[in-house]
A and B are shown apart, each in its own frame.
Chain A
Amino acid sequence: MTERLAPDLATVAAGFGGLLRAAGVPASTERCSRFAAVVALARPVTVTRLYWLARVTLLDRHDQIDVFDRVFASVFGGAEDVAADRGDTAAPKPPPQTRPGARTRASAQPQAGESDVPTPATTVGSPHERDESGRLLVTASVEERLRHKDFAHYTPEELASLRRLVEELRVVAPRRRARRPTAASSGRRLDLRRTLRRSHRTGGDPVRREYRRRRDRPRRIVLLADVSGSMESYSRVYLHLLQGAVRGTGAEAFVMATRLTRLSRALATGHPDVALGRAAEAAPDWSGGTRLGEALKTFLDDFGRRGMARGAVVVIVSDGWERADPSLLGEQMARLERLAHRVVWVNPRSAAESYEPLVGGMAAALPHVDVLVPGHSLHALDDVLAAVRDASRR
C-alpha cells in the first residue's frame, strides 16, 4: 500500500516543502523525505496528526512555528482547523507573507550597490582605484580628513569609504577562562592520555610528561543598536564594525526601534545595509523613536537570560532617548548589569562638552553602565574598542 502511495506522497511532501521554503522556512529535501517516511509509517487520519508529523520532521527552530502554521493552514486547512489552538485562524496565504521580504532584498540591493561602488576613491582624485598602493594612499588621506568628523555629518560617499576603514579595525573581546583544557608542555595538571601515547615512542617509558592547562576564550560581544531617527547613521557604522566579529567569533547584533530585531544571521551572511533594510521593513515606524526599555526587555527575556548575555560584553549604541517610561529602562538595565560582564554604552550626544545625562532614559540607565563613551567619530572609535577590550569590571 505504501508502495502504491509513494509517488503521490513524495510529490505532496516535496511540494509542501517548497511552499515552506518560499515562506522562509528552510525545509531541505532530506527533511521532506523524512516527512514522507513518517506519513507512510504513521498513516495519519486526522489533519491534526498530519500537522504534528509535518512539524516534527520539517522544522528545526522554535521561531519557524508561526510561519509553518500559516503555510500548513493554507494548504491543509479547511477540513479541520489545526491552527485554532495556536490562535492563527485568520491565517493569510503564504505568498503575501513572503513578498515583503523579497521586495526588501530587491530594493535594498541597489542602495547597497550604490554605496559599494568605490566612488569615493575617484572623488578624492585617484584614477587608479584598482591599484593597491593608490587605494591605500587614498584611504589614508580620507582617514586623515574624516578622523574627527561626526558620523552624523558624513556624506553618503564618505560613509562608503568609512566602511572600508571600519572593516579593517579589529574588535577584540576580553577573554575568560574556558572549562576545556588545552595541551601544554608545562603546567600543573598532568595529561595522562597524551603522556602515555607519547611513551610509545620511547619504548613504553613515559620520558616526556605532557600537561594540560586551562585555556582562555574570548567573551561574546553583543551589540544592541538603536536605529531610530538620528541614531541610524551611527548604528550603521557599528554594525559594519561588528560584522567581522559576527562572522569570526560569534558576536551577536540586534537593532532596537519600536521593537527588537536580531541581525546576527543576516550580518554573518550578507551585507549590513541589506540586513538593516530588512529590519527596517519589519519595523514600520522606523524613525518614530525608540522604546528602549521594551526592546531591552525583549532581548533579556528571549536571548539574554538564556545565556547570550551571561558573561558577555554588551555594547549599546543609543542616545538614551526613551519614548516610554524611563523606569522600565532602569529596571531592565539592572537585569542586564547582573548578567553581563561589562556594559558599554555608546552615546554620540555625550561628545558635546556641555552634555549631561538628563534625558530620562539615559539618566535611568547610567547607574548600570560600566563605561559611557561618545564613539561619534573615527577617532572616538578607538575609545569604544578600548572599552570593549578592557577585561576589568568598572
Chain B
Amino acid sequence: MSASPTPPAHPDGRGLERLLPDIATLQDRLAESGYLTDEGLATALFCAVRLPQPILLEGEAGVGKTQAAKSLAQVLGTPLIRLQCYDGIEAAEAIYEWNYPRQLLAIRLAEAEGTHLREADLFGPDYLVERPLLQAVRHQGPRPAVLLIDEVDRADEEFEAFLFELLAEGTITIPEIGTVKAEVPPVAVLTSNRTRDLHDALKRRCLYHWIDYPDVARAAQIIRLHVPSAAEGLTTGVAAAVQRLRSLDLQKPPGVAEAIDWVGALRLLGVTRLDGDLVARTLGSALKYREDLDVALGRGVSWIGTGD
C-alpha cells in the first residue's frame, strides 16, 4: 500500500516546487515569518511538504513543536487546521459529526408541512458538522493546508487508528456519504511529548524529527525576535544563563518559551544586564519546580547570571 517506492506526485507539485525549491529557501521563509530553524528541522519540514509525507515532531516541552506547524502554514499561505488531542477524543470530535438537533428539526418540519423527506436529504452536507480532520481533507487548495495533530500521545491508542486512513491515503470514509478524497492532501504535522510510545503503525507512516534545544546564539536570535525591545546584553545573557541552567540536573530544564518569558519579565523591570541579584528575584520565570529552584540557587546565582 503505502510502501510504493515512488511517493505519489503532489497535485500542485510544481506550485510548491516554485515556492520552495530547496531547503535553504524554506529556512529563509520560516525566518521571515518569525520562526528560526536549524538545518535539521528545515530539512524535516521540507521533506514533509515536498514528498509529501506526514511528519512526527518530538522534543522536550517548549522547543517549538507546535510553532513549527503554525509557521509552516504561514509560509505556505494556507490555513492551519489544528486538532488538539486529549484522553478520550473520538471520531465525532476529530473527524465529523451529524448535526442531530438540526436533523430532528428537519424531520418535524417535514411532518408539519406534509412534505416528503428522503434519508439522503438528512445525511447531506447541510447536516454534516466538519471536525478538523475532515476540514483538512476538504481544503480546496491550490496549496495544501497544514494539519496539526497536536500532542497525539494524549489520545488513546485506539484513536491512532482513526488517523491511519487520512495519513496514508489522504482520504476519510463516512459510512453515509462514502469516501472523501482530498484534492490537495494536507501537510500533516503530528507532535508528541512522549508520554507513551506511539504505535509502530502510526510511526511507520511518518517522517520523524527530534527537535533539540537551540544553541546559545540561535536562542538569542529567537528571543530577540520575540522581545525586540530588550537590550542586546540582556538577550544574550539570558540565553547563556538558560543554557547553563540546562546543564544542571533539573526536573524540567527551561525551554525557549521560558527564556522568552524571562527576558520579558526582566525587560519589564527595566533591566539591561543580568546579574546574580536579578537572577534570584526572577528565576521563577525559568524554573517551575521548587526542587529545581533549590538546585539552581544551590549552584549559585552569580554562576547562573554570569557564568562564574
Could you list which residues of chain A lie within 8 angstroms of chain B, going by C-beta atoms? Answer: 28-31, 33-34, 36-38, 41-42, 48-49, 52-53, 55-57, 59-62, 65, 178-181, 192-193, 196, 200, 204, 250, 300-301, 305-308, 310, 331, 335
24 A-B pairs within 8 Å (CB atoms) are namely A30-B204, A33-B5, A34-B53, A41-B47, A41-B50, A42-B43, A42-B50, A53-B43, A56-B43, A56-B47, A56-B208, A60-B200, A60-B203, A60-B204, A62-B194, A179-B86, A192-B100, A192-B101, A193-B98, A204-B107, A300-B251, A301-B251, A305-B251, A306-B193
Chain A residues with CB under 8 Å of B130's CB are: none
Known: A37-B7, A204-B107. A28 touches B204 (CB 8 A): yes
Chain A residues with CB under 8 Å of B47's CB are: 38, 41-42, 53, 56-57
- Cβ of B97 within 8 Å of any chain A Cβ, yes or no, is yes
Q: When chains A and B are docked, how far (Å) is the Cα of A307 from the Cα of B154?
A: 9
Which of B86, B107, B194 sits near A306, CB closer than 8 Å? B194
- Residue pair A57, B207 in contact (C-beta under 8 Å): yes
Q: Whole-angstrom distance from the CB of B235 to the nearest CB of chain A?
A: 23
Q: Whole-angstrom distance from the CB of A366 to the nearest CB of chain B?
A: 20
Which of A52, A61, A179, A306 sits near B44, CB closer than 8 Å? A52
Number of B residues with CB within 8 Å of any CB on chain A: 51
Mostly, the A contact residues are helix
Chain A residues with CB under 8 Å of B165's CB are: none
- Residue pair B51, A41 in contact (C-beta under 8 Å): yes
Residue-wise interface mask of B (48-89) relative to A, using a CB-CB cutoff of 8 A (1 in contact, 0 not): 001101011010000000000000000000000000001111
Chain B residues with CB under 8 Å of A200's CB are: 119
Which of A34, A178, A331 sits near B291, CB closer than 8 Å? A331
- Residue pair B7, A34 in contact (C-beta under 8 Å): yes
Q: When chains A and B are docked, how far (Å) is the Cα of A343 from the Cα of B46?
A: 46
Chain A residues with CB under 8 Å of B104's CB are: 196
The residue of chain B having its C-beta at the shortest distance from the C-beta of A56 within the complex is: B44
Chain B residues with CB under 8 Å of A179's CB are: 86-88
Q: Whole-angstrom distance from the CB of A109 to the nearest CB of chain B?
A: 25
Q: Whole-angstrom distance from the CB of A182 to the nearest CB of chain B?
A: 11
Chain B residues with CB under 8 Å of A28's CB are: 204
Chain A residues with CB under 8 Å of B291's CB are: 331, 335
Q: When chains A and B are docked, how far (Å) is the Cα of A36 from the Cα of B5?
A: 9
Q: Whole-angstrom distance from the CB of A40 to the nearest CB of chain B?
A: 9
Q: When chains A and B are docked, how far (Å) is the Cα of A62 from the Cα of B153?
A: 15
- Cβ of B120 within 8 Å of any chain A Cβ, yes or no, is no
Chain B residues with CB under 8 Å of A38's CB are: 47, 50-51
- Residue pair A30, B3 in contact (C-beta under 8 Å): yes
Q: When chains A and B are docked, how far (Å) is the Cα of A200 from the Cα of B98?
A: 15
Which of A49, A62, A65, A204 sits near B43, CB closer than 8 Å? A49
B206-222 at interface with A (beta carbon < 8 Å): 206-210
Chain B residues with CB under 8 Å of A250's CB are: 157
Q: When chains A and B are docked, how far (Å) is the Cα of A24 from the Cα of B83?
A: 34
- Cβ of B233 within 8 Å of any chain A Cβ, yes or no, is no
Q: Whole-angstrom distance from the CB of B121 to the nearest CB of chain A?
A: 12
Chain B residues with CB under 8 Å of A30's CB are: 2-3, 204
Q: Whole-angstrom distance from the CB of B8 to the nearest CB of chain A?
A: 11
- Residue pair A178, B88 in contact (C-beta under 8 Å): yes
Q: Whole-angstrom distance from the CB of B5 to the nearest CB of chain A?
A: 5
Q: When chains A and B are docked, how far (Å) is the Cα of A300 from the Cα of B104?
A: 52
The residue of chain B having its C-beta at the shortest distance from the C-beta of A65 within the complex is: B210
Chain A residues with CB under 8 Å of B56's CB are: 60
Additional A-B contacts beyond A56-B43, A65-B210 (13; CB < 8 A): A34-B7, A37-B51, A38-B50, A42-B47, A56-B47, A61-B203, A61-B208, A62-B194, A178-B88, A193-B98, A193-B100, A331-B291, A335-B251
- Residue pair A193, B92 in contact (C-beta under 8 Å): yes
- Residue pair B204, A52 in contact (C-beta under 8 Å): no
Which of B46, B107, B157 sits near A42, CB closer than 8 Å? B46
- Residue pair A60, B39 in contact (C-beta under 8 Å): no
- Cβ of B195 within 8 Å of any chain A Cβ, yes or no, is yes
Q: When chains A and B are docked, how far (Å) is the Cα of A57 from the Cα of B46?
A: 12
